[in-house]
Chains A and B, each alone.
Chain A
Amino acid sequence: MARPAVRIQVVEFGVLVGLALLVGRAAQVQILHGRRWAEEAQAQRTERIVLQARRGTLYDRHGTPLAVTQETYHVGIAPNELRDPAADGALISRRLGLTARTWQEALRRRYAYFAGPYSALEVQPLRSVRGVHLESVLNRFYPDPAVARATIGRLGDDGLAASGLERTLDSLLAGRAGAAVVLKDRAGREYESPARVIAPPVPGLDVVLTLDAELQEIAQRALDDALRRMDADAGDVVMLDPGTGEVLALASRQRDGSARPSAFTDTFEPGSLAKIFAAAALLSLRRVSPTDHVSGEGGKWRVLGRTITDDDPQPSLTMADAIRVSSNIAIAKFAARLTPAEQYATLRDFGFGAFTGIEFPAEATGRLRPPSEWTRPSAASLAMGYELSVTPIQVAMAYGALANDGLLLQPTLVREVRSASGGGVRYRHRPEPVRRVVSRDVAAALRNLLRGVVERGTGTEAALTNFPVAAKTGTARRVVNGRYAAGEYTASFAALFPADQPQLVLVVKLDNPHKGSYFAAQTAAPVTRSMLEQALAARTVALDRARLSTAAPRATAAPADDDGGLVPYVVPWPYQPDSAGVGPRRAVPDVAGLGMREAVRTLHRRGFRVALRGWGVAEHTWPAAGDSAAAGSMVTLFADPHAGDRVRSRGAAPPRRGPRR
């Protein structure tokens, strides 16, 4: 048995060793591993969260939102936290659209999660319900999902840009996500304390597209209607402003109702649409004169082992005739005056066989083989629009070059890029010339040729009464699996509106119309006219009506003093037809002294169509007032431009009279 003093020393030593170990361990925890433990503690108490950046809005050219980002919610339900499961359950089921069975299943779970996403409106009544946990998430929303769906594109399920402009413009629209740290309790629930923002989210930029929502709707409805009436496989419509290269409307539709961006990605042989480009080469290189004639060969011409036929045989044709009646024989004969290199270079200059450069993630170049790969009939085939594949957007840009005095522009879908929340403009589109394709004079001559097509040729179905249109039809056999398929055709139509100083280029393509005629003259041309009429009647469509009013033949007789004070005016719609109907003869009302607006309205109410001569105050009509004319017939209204000035100079109010019947 050790002495007490020794035992005490042993105990003291033991305590000292214990203390030393404790201090050592404390030093190890605090000093050596301190950082790691601190981080672990921090991780248990805090959480780093990602702050989503608001994706930029896509607008049409008039500021109509086409794609917006909105806060939506995922909803979590903790059944054991509900105060009144029956009443709360009824409310939750109603707001989230849950069936009774789904709700019962949710009640059996510890925590039920409904991904939704649900809108703020849907979850608003649930905010005050205990046991309901809302998780906000920014979601993309398309106010009118049908408008330009293929062009605008969509985000994928992962929230990343998947297609269309959403994808092309993603770097502009996406913005930059931020980060923050929030406090949480032992159970991992976040405290309602202010988050410590490490990096604030940077919202994406807003993009104003060149699309015109109203024109887009006109194009889509016209295309849908055409596909249904003609039982066609698919179709495309492209509308653009030739002066800027801005695409105003793009509609694509398949027979099954789906829409994919075929105006950019699907190629077709343009057929007679391409004849104007052969004419462009011939006129530019002065290989043909207006008086040059070629024989029509009775509608059938055998050359280089191949027979070329015309549907409308002519004994003899000039270049203008060749375009007007779309003669294969004549254009092939004229094109023989070009070398392959010249023909190829012209087509290449118009942009065929190359990307247009439009801001779209997928675009086909089409096919234009170099002369080294041509066969003997290739020159004739290319002049007729075969052995060449193009996209509708390429055709639109090439015709746009004719409208734009020979200058080919790069097409665009982006008009402006703006900072978020109405900030400054970061980018504004300016027309970007690609090259001069033909001279100004040649472009004017080619537009004249196209005008003849609508006035007296294959495109008369597209003619408007008051506005000149220049256009070309194209009906080409379709290639299926590398061969021309029997009885399958592509009907296409390219139009410039109006023919002088065009403001609009329209391209309509219909694949394989089954019902009725398959010729473009009877299929695509009337669709074009219908769209033009609707565009003219629409108030917001991007047409310069002041310029149109001077372009209209019946208005050109009355040149304005200057273009600064022109006020566009469309005769009021709705149109009120006379109850007597159309057909019987009736007296032409006296509109002398009325303002033009009132005079036109009066004549319309009587059931007459009206052609204007001049502007100012109505002076007389032809047929004259009191004469009888068939309802629906045209009455020419002559105006005196100085009458109003005379009235004003006398200090009197302009004459106003009530409509007469």
Chain B
Amino acid sequence: MAKGRHWVALWLVAFLVTTWLVYARQTAAIRAARELADLRARRANLDGHRADLERRVRAAESRAVLVPRAQARLGLHLPSDSEIVLVPAPSGSR
């Protein structure tokens, strides 16, 4: 009888260990999945933020915005071609 109880105890321990391993593994996986989801959300957020900033920079750099402001605030104008001089630099001056 005693030998039989040992076997039962052994099987019970093996079962508990296996169950615990499965539980631990699942818990770690769910935690990792949650972290992954958080990181993805952060990346999406940063991507969105970058796109928004790029859009604002492009809008600010556009001629539709820059030219009127340059004219109104600084008294500048778009140069006519006679005011544009391309000066060929001698070789090696780069």
Q: Identify the A interface with B (CB < 8 A).
A: 64-65, 68, 70-71, 119-121, 124, 127, 136, 141, 143-144, 191-194, 217-218, 221, 464-467, 529, 532-534, 536-537, 545-546, 548-550, 552, 555, 558, 560-562, 564-571, 573-575, 577, 596-597, 600, 604, 609-612, 615-616, 634, 641, 644
B55 nearest CB neighbor, chain A only? A143
- Whether B72 sits at the interface, judged by CB under 8 Å, is no
Q: Which of B55, B70, B86, B94 contacts A545 (CB under 8 A)?
A: B86
Q: Which of A65, A533, A569 contacts B87 (CB under 8 A)?
A: A569
B76 touches A573 (CB 8 A): yes
B59 nearest CB neighbor, chain A only? A144
Which residues in window 76-90 of B have CB below 8 A to A? 76-90
Contacts A70-B47, A193-B29 given: A65-B84 contact, CB under 8 Å? Answer: no
A569 touches B86 (CB 8 A): yes
Q: Contacts of A552 on B, CB cut-off 8 Å?
A: 86
Interface CB pairs A-B, < 8 A, 6: A217-B64, A221-B63, A536-B84, A558-B88, A567-B88, A571-B84
A615 touches B89 (CB 8 A): yes
- Whether B2 sits at the interface, judged by CB under 8 Å, is no
Q: Contacts of A561 on B, CB cut-off 8 Å?
A: 90-91
10 closest Cβ pairs, A-B complex: A565-B91, A120-B48, A549-B86, A574-B76, A465-B82, A464-B81, A567-B89, A120-B44, A71-B44, A549-B88
Contacts A193-B29, A565-B92 given: A533-B78 contact, CB under 8 Å? Answer: yes
How far, in whole Å, are A121 and B62 apart by their CA atoms in the complex? 24
Nearest CB of A to B65, in Å: 11
Q: Identify the B interface with A (CB < 8 A).
A: 26, 29-30, 32-34, 36-37, 41, 44-45, 47-49, 51-52, 54-55, 58-59, 62-64, 70, 74-94
A466 touches B90 (CB 8 A): no
Nearest CB of A to B88, in Å: 4
How far, in whole Å, are A616 and B52 apart by their CA atoms in the complex? 46
Q: Contacts of A464 on B, CB cut-off 8 Å?
A: 81-82
Given contacts A144-B59, A571-B87, could you give 11 more A-B pairs where the C-beta distance is less than 8 Å? A70-B48, A70-B51, A71-B48, A124-B41, A217-B63, A465-B82, A532-B81, A533-B78, A534-B78, A565-B90, A641-B90
- The winner among B44, B59, B87, B94 for most chain A CB atoms within 10 A is B87
B47 touches A120 (CB 8 A): yes
Contacts A466-B85, A555-B86, A571-B83 given: A192-B37 contact, CB under 8 Å? Answer: yes
A566 nearest CB neighbor, chain B only? B88
Nearest CB of B to A539, in Å: 11
Q: Which of B30, B32, B64, B84 contacts A466 (CB under 8 A)?
A: B84
Q: Contacts of A566 on B, CB cut-off 8 Å?
A: 88-89, 91
B62 touches A564 (CB 8 A): no
Q: Contacts of B41 on A, CB cut-off 8 Å?
A: 120, 124, 127
B56 nearest CB neighbor, chain A only? A143
Contacts A218-B63, A612-B87 given: A571-B79 contact, CB under 8 Å? Answer: yes
Nearest CB of A to B30, in Å: 6
Q: Contacts of A562 on B, CB cut-off 8 Å?
A: 91
How far, in whole Å, are A240 and B72 apart by their CA atoms in the complex? 33
B80 nearest CB neighbor, chain A only? A533
Q: Contacts of A575 on B, CB cut-off 8 Å?
A: 76-77, 79, 83
- The winner among A194, A221, A555, A567 for most chain B CB atoms within 10 A is A567
Contacts A121-B49, A143-B51, A574-B74 given: A550-B79 contact, CB under 8 Å? Answer: no
B89 touches A221 (CB 8 A): no
B33 touches A600 (CB 8 A): no
How far, in whole Å, are A555 and B52 apart by their CA atoms in the complex? 44
B87 touches A615 (CB 8 A): yes
A192 touches B81 (CB 8 A): no
Nearest CB of B to A137, in Å: 11
Q: Contacts of B78 on A, CB cut-off 8 Å?
A: 533-534, 537
B41 nearest CB neighbor, chain A only? A127
Q: Contacts of A555 on B, CB cut-off 8 Å?
A: 86-88
A609 touches B83 (CB 8 A): yes
B29 touches A560 (CB 8 A): no
How far, in whole Å, are A332 and B32 apart by their CA atoms in the complex? 81
Q: Contacts of B48 on A, CB cut-off 8 Å?
A: 70-71, 119-121
How far, in whole Å, are A471 and B31 apart by their CA atoms in the complex? 69
Q: Contacts of B84 on A, CB cut-off 8 Å?
A: 466, 533, 536-537, 570-571
A573 touches B51 (CB 8 A): no
B90 touches A615 (CB 8 A): yes
How far, in whole Å, are A221 and B63 apart by their CA atoms in the complex? 9
Q: Which of A193, A564, A571, A574 contacts B30 (CB under 8 A)?
A: A193
Q: Contacts of A569 on B, CB cut-off 8 Å?
A: 86-87, 89
How far, in whole Å, are A567 and B92 apart by their CA atoms in the complex? 9
How far, in whole Å, are A642 and B37 apart by their CA atoms in the complex? 67
B36 nearest CB neighbor, chain A only? A194
A121 touches B83 (CB 8 A): no
A616 nearest CB neighbor, chain B only? B90
A68 touches B87 (CB 8 A): no
How far, in whole Å, are A143 and B92 apart by their CA atoms in the complex? 40
Contacts A70-B48, A193-B29, A217-B63 given: A536-B81 contact, CB under 8 Å? Answer: yes
Contacts A127-B41, A575-B79, A597-B87 given: A144-B64 contact, CB under 8 Å? Answer: no
A548 touches B86 (CB 8 A): yes
How far, in whole Å, are A487 and B41 apart by their CA atoms in the complex? 61
Nearest CB of A to B26, in Å: 8
Contacts A120-B45, A537-B79 given: A571-B59 contact, CB under 8 Å? Answer: no
Q: Contacts of B54 on A, CB cut-off 8 Å?
A: 65, 143
